[in-house]
Structure 1
Amino acid sequence: MSQSGPASAQAEVTIAADADAETVYRLITDLPTLASLAEEAHAMEWRKGDAARTGAVFRGHNRNGSRSWSTTCTVTAAEPGRTFAFDVRSAVIPVAHWRYDIAATDGGCTVTESTWDRRPGWFRVPAGWVTGVKDRDTANAEHIRRTLQRLKEKAEA
């Protein structure tokens, strides 16, 4: 993580895919594809830079039912075939750190998606009102599971 926080992620899921690590990395770092795989994100676009590189910035547009919100994301790690990570903020308020770790295996690769909640304590209740999610850790664990299943299906197609 680019800033201090808990050592272990609040939500983390690993899945095996019968696809090579480079293919999976390309899917994850193609923002329209990543948005199509995600549970809450429905659109993403580059704002600073045009590809996954450390320091690049993208905007994420999210929704949960009738609720919608946007975030600004800064890429903190981009190692082709291995790692894609970014910090998320709402205006100047830190929200989360997301990370995808890809490891090649004999038959394809494993992908681990992890997230760390970086919201200040005072921001958690209003963030829950905006997003409609009171238990962010539980919701993120389920969202990650669904996202990785969609990623696996797309990568193996």
Structure 2
Amino acid sequence: MGETINEKQPIFSADADIRISATPIEVYAVISDLPRSGEWSPECLGGEWTVGEPAAVGSVFRGDNLRGDDIVAWAPVVRGRWTTQSEVVTAEPGRTFRWAIHNSDGQKQESIWGFDIEAAEGGGSLLTHHFRMDSATQGIKGITAEMDAAEKQRFFAEWGDKISGDLAASLQRIKAVVEEA
């Protein structure tokens, strides 16, 4: 098996959306403040900007993360606490905010998380949270290195479901944070 299940598609691609009773600029102010991500992310506890102006293209964010033992429990994924380095790749206030996860050498990988915001008809905003991984990251290569084809197929299916659930959960929490402000 190659780096993807189907060479014509990304390894992972998921999105979810939600309507929020706030302007796109108000929503953007929250979702681009990555140190606050512990308020909504199922895994990221927050973190800090380590390079550049907060939320600007090229800035780097160190995320502090926590994953329980029950997440795809049979696979050798990182458990407990760990950190990630992410680089902002798109920052358009009121429109879009995206970041790429770095590998251990500090290079951007094809693992992009982000948000798109648009004004909703009748007021408020439509917030879309998305994730896309076009080729296997350093982490995915390590996780799947000892797996046979059937195990890889199972892992990609279960991990994809986990990502989709995390996106939806994050949006529900972001909605609550923004609308309670």
**Pairwise TM-score range, normalised by the shorter structure:** 0.7 to 0.9
Deviation at 1:82, TM superposition (A): 0.7
User: Is 1:70 paired with 2:86?
Assistant: no
1:97-112 aligned within 5 A: 97-105=112-120, 106-112=122-128
**Structure 2 letter corresponding to 1:102:** I
Deviation at 1:76, TM superposition (A): 0.5
Q: Where does the alignment leave 5 or more consecutive residues of structure 1 unmatched?
A: none
Identify if the C-alpha distance between structure 1 residues 102 and 9 changes in structure 2 by more than 3 Å, giving closer, same or farther.
farther
**Structure 2 letter corresponding to 1:103:** E
- Return the alpha-carbon distance in structure 2 between the equivalents of residues 81 and 151 of structure 1: 15
Identify if the C-alpha distance between structure 1 residues 8 and 134 changes in structure 2 by more than 3 Å, giving closer, same or farther.
closer
User: Is 1:50 paired with 2:75?
Assistant: no
Aligned partner of residue 38 in structure 2, secondary structure: helix
Taking structure 2 as the reference length, what is the TM-score of the superposition? 0.73
User: Is 1:84 paired with 2:97?
Assistant: yes
- Please list the CA deviations of residues 122-149 of structure 1 after superposition, one character each: whole Å capped at 9, or x if unmatched: 7426347xxxx98321111101101000
Q: Where does the alignment leave 5 or more consecutive residues of structure 2 unmatched?
A: 1-7, 69-78, 145-155
Aligned partner of residue 47 in structure 2, secondary structure: strand
Equivalent residue for 2:164? 141
- Return the alpha-carbon distance in structure 2 between the equivalents of residues 109 and 32 of structure 1: 22
Contact 2:15-2:164 within 8 A present in 1 as well? yes
Aligned partner of residue 87 in structure 2, secondary structure: strand
- Please list the CA deviations of residues 10-39 of structure 1 after superposition, one character each: whole Å capped at 9, or x if unmatched: 110011111111111011111222232101
What RMSD in Å do the two structures reach over aligned CA positions? 2.8
Contact 1:85-1:100 within 8 A present in 2 as well? yes
Identify if the C-alpha distance between structure 1 residues 51 and 152 changes in structure 2 by more than 3 Å, giving closer, same or farther.
same
Identify the match of residue 17 of structure 2 among 14, 18, 40: 14
User: Is 1:35 paired with 2:38?
Assistant: yes
Contact 1:11-1:138 within 8 A present in 2 as well? no
Identify if the C-alpha distance between structure 1 residues 114 and 9 changes in structure 2 by more than 3 Å, giving closer, same or farther.
farther
Contact 1:9-1:114 within 8 A present in 2 as well? no
Aligned partner of residue 53 in structure 1, secondary structure: coil
Taking structure 1 as the reference length, what is the TM-score of the superposition? 0.83
Deviation at 1:119, TM superposition (A): 5.3
Number of equivalenced pairs = 151
Equivalent residue for 2:75? none
